[in-house]
């Protein structure tokens, strides 16, 4: 005669389970623990140290699909780099692979006007900046303060190789600002300029 089997697989006498009347929770706990360990083993077996895009699905595939011809290596998933990542890529940039041209830096200083407006042998007076710019010879530009050294009037004309003051008749050379006729006691102070793309820049 075969004795009935108990909860733990042991035979019992009198056809009764040894576990009769016991709380069944340990049995459930054991089953759940076993299932949990099996699931954990499966998860660990499927783990990979490969980088996965932040917007990939559960299988590690990005929204646009895997890269053409990409073959996953043993136990590791491979996928294209996520948009905006710092990964180096040999693919061309969105703008056709052309490097962005750097904008030419603007010269520092104040733009006074066009160099082509200054006549050879004459000059131009920029009253707002209080500067007079002359061109004694073709392509040779000089700049001086437009404030007369006598009593501080602004010069108002450049003719016959001289810069003239309207207040008391002082005159200065267009080549170096030296006094040609008084009562100005000293030459016009020189100012620093440069010509950039036909623009006179006061430094």
pTM of the predicted model as reported, rounded to 2 decimal places: 0.48
pLDDT in tens, 84-96: 445 444 555 555 5
The rounded mean pLDDT for the chain is 73
More confident residue, 32 or 67: 32
User: Within a domain: residue 184?
Assistant: yes
On whether the CB atoms of residues 53 and 80 are closer than 8 A, the answer is yes
User: Within a domain: residue 150?
Assistant: yes
- Phi, psi dihedral angles at 102 (to 5 degrees): -75, 135
Q: Is the pLDDT of residue 131 over 60?
A: yes
User: Within a domain: residue 71?
Assistant: no
Give the pLDDT band of residue 182 (cuts 50, 70, 90). confident
Domain containing 170 equals 118-202
User: Within a domain: residue 81?
Assistant: no
pLDDT in tens, 108-128: 888 999 999 999 999 999 999
More confident residue, 133 or 53: 133
How many folded domains does the chain comprise?
1
> Distance of alpha carbon 139 from its chain centroid, rounded?
39
Least confident window among 87-91, 144-148, 169-173: 87-91
User: Within a domain: residue 96?
Assistant: no
What is d(CA 75, CA 101) in angstroms, rounded to the nearest whole number? 44
Is the bond into 183 cis (omega within 30 degrees of 0)?
A: yes
For 152, the token pair is 């501080």
Q: What is the pLDDT of residue 5?
A: 46
What is d(CA 129, CA 32) in angstroms, rounded to the nearest whole number? 88
Alpha-helical segments (H) within the chain:
25-46
User: Within a domain: residue 169?
Assistant: yes
Instruction: Specify the CATH number for the domain of residue 126.
Output: 2.102.10.10
More confident residue, 60 or 138: 138
- Mean pLDDT across 11-35: 56
Of the candidates 138, 130, 145, which has an alpha carbon nearest to the alpha carbon of residue 176?
145
Of the candidates 174, 180, 158, 156, which has an alpha carbon nearest to the alpha carbon of residue 166?
156
- Mean pLDDT across 170-196: 93
On whether the CB atoms of residues 174 and 157 are closer than 8 A, the answer is no
User: Within a domain: residue 24?
Assistant: no
- Phi, psi dihedral angles at 154 (to 5 degrees): -85, 135
Q: Which of 72-81, 107-116, 135-144 tops mean pLDDT?
A: 135-144
For 93, the token pair is 């940039």
User: Within a domain: residue 127?
Assistant: yes
More confident residue, 171 or 51: 171
Give the pLDDT band of residue 200 (cuts 50, 70, 90). very high
């Amino acid at each position: 005669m075969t004795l009935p089997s108990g909860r733990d697989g042991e035979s019992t006498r009198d056809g009764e389970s040894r576990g009769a009347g016991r709380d069944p929770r340990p049995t459930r706990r054991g089953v759940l623990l076993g299932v949990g360990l099996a699931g954990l083993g499966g998860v660990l077996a499927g783990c990979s140290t490969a980088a996965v895009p932040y917007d990939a699905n559960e299988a590690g595939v990005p929204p646009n699909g895997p890269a053409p011809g990409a073959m996953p290596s043993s136990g590791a998933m491979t996928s294209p780099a996520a948009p905006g990542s710092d990964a180096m890529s040999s693919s061309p940039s969105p703008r056709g692979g052309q490097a962005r041209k750097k904008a030419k830096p603007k010269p520092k200083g104040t733009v006074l006007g066009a160099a082509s407006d200054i006549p050879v042998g004459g000059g131009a007076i920029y009253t707002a900046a209080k500067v007079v710019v002359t061109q004694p010879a073709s392509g040779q530009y000089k700049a001086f303060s437009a404030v007369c050294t006598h009593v501080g009037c602004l010069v108002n004309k450049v003719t016959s190789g001289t810069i003239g003051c309207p207040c008391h008749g002082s005159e200065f050379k267009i080549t170096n600002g030296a006094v040609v006729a008084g009562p100005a006691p000293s030459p016009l102070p020189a100012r620093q300029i440069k010509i950039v793309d036909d623009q006179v820049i006061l430094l």
